[in-house]
Structure 1
């Protein structure tokens, strides 16, 4: 790797670290490219030669953050025991615990995802197939083990779980709820969902 490429990668790393901290400290809307550049110790032009937009920076920050999480979840999911509902409770609890470490950053990601002026370089919340595939696999396993009705629409169940999971972040935004509080609510919501999925 040449000097220029090494410098570009180092600039990218600095900008992503600066942006991650700024998004979490002051929010996505308030964070400017200029503020990122100043925090990273690089020029504004360097940011624009590395990223097309602030939205692309946010997408990359989120992608980098969750990569390690999903690798860990994929490993942990194979070893989870208990009922399907219990395993899903554990999966979502791990997710809440992780995201609540930088909750304003995650709220910024959700907000940007549903903006009417969504930038084409933004990967919106909910488009990560790895987490959804993990849950679908668990749901299918639940059908095979007789915990879920065979005729259940698993895609609809997945969408419902993801919607409930995301909706609970309103508690962090409006009430400063922590991961434990959101997890306890999600646990009850999963119980309610699974009451309707039991074989009859």
Structure 2
């Protein structure tokens, strides 16, 4: 990598770090590209030569965070035990514990997902293929173990679980609820879904 490439990479790193902190401190709507540039110590033009929009910056910030999260999952997934519902509860509890460390950042990620923009380079909440894949794997294993109906629409169940997960963040936004409180609600929601997937 040449000097110019190294400088571009260093600028990118500073922008992502500054944006992550600002999104978490003051929220997505209040954070401007100018504020990100000032915090990163770069020009506004430098931000725009690296990223097309604020939404793309947020998407890359979250992509990096998810890389850290899924490194943790690679370590713990083989050790998850219990019923299908228990294993799903564990997966979401780990997500809540991780994301509530920077809860305003994750709330920004959810909020940005409802933007009408579908810019290239942006992965909004709900399109996380790694999470969807983990949930499908657990449910498929539940079918094999005879705990889950084999005619279940797995995509619909996964979409429903992700919707519950995101909806529960209203507790953090409105009441300052922590990961434990949100996980407890998610456990009950998974219990309700589990009643519907039991073999008849």
Tell me the TM-score normalised to structure 2 length: 0.96
Say whether the 8 Å CA contact 1:74–1:134 is kept in structure 2: no
Partner SS state of residue 78, structure 1: helix
Provide the residue aligned with 1:83 in structure 2: 83
Give the equivalent residue in structure 2 for 1:175. 175
1:66-77, aligned counterparts within 5 Å? 66-77=66-77
State the distance in 1 between where 2:84 and 2:170 align: 26
The residue that corresponds to 1:161 in the other structure is 161
Aligned to 1:199: 199
* Mapped contact 1:96–1:182 kept (Cα < 8 A): yes
**Alignment check: 8 A CA contact 1:55 1:121 kept:** no
The 5-angstrom pairing of residues 113-124 of structure 1 reads 113-117=113-117, 119-124=119-124
Taking the TM superposition and a 5 Å limit, the aligned residue runs for 1:143-154 are: 143-154=143-154
CA shift, 1:49, in A, is 1.3
Q: Tell me the number of residue pairs that the alignment of Structure 1 and Structure 2 aligns.
A: 200
Which range moved further: 173-182 or 110-119? 110-119
Pairwise CA distance, 1:164: 0.8
Question: For residue 3 of structure 2, what is the aligned residue in structure 1?
Answer: 3
TM-score calculated relative to the size of structure 1: 0.96
Paired with 2:117 and 2:127, the residues of 1 have a C-alpha distance of 17
Q: Structure 2 CA distance, aligned partners of 1:74 and 1:61?
A: 20
Aligned residues of 1:15 and 1:47 also touching (Cα < 8 A): yes
Provide the rounded CA distance (Å) in 2 between the counterparts of 1:118 and 1:35.
Answer: 24
**8 A contact 1:113–1:122 mirrored in 2:** no
Any idea what SS the aligned residue of 1:199 has? coil
1:52-82 CA-to-partner distances (Å, cap 9, x unmatched) read 1111100000000111211221332222111
Q: CA–CA distance in 2 between the matches of 1:90 and 1:64? A: 22
Structure 2 residue runs without a partner (length 5+): none
CA distance in 2 between partners of 1:171 and 1:119 (Å)? 29
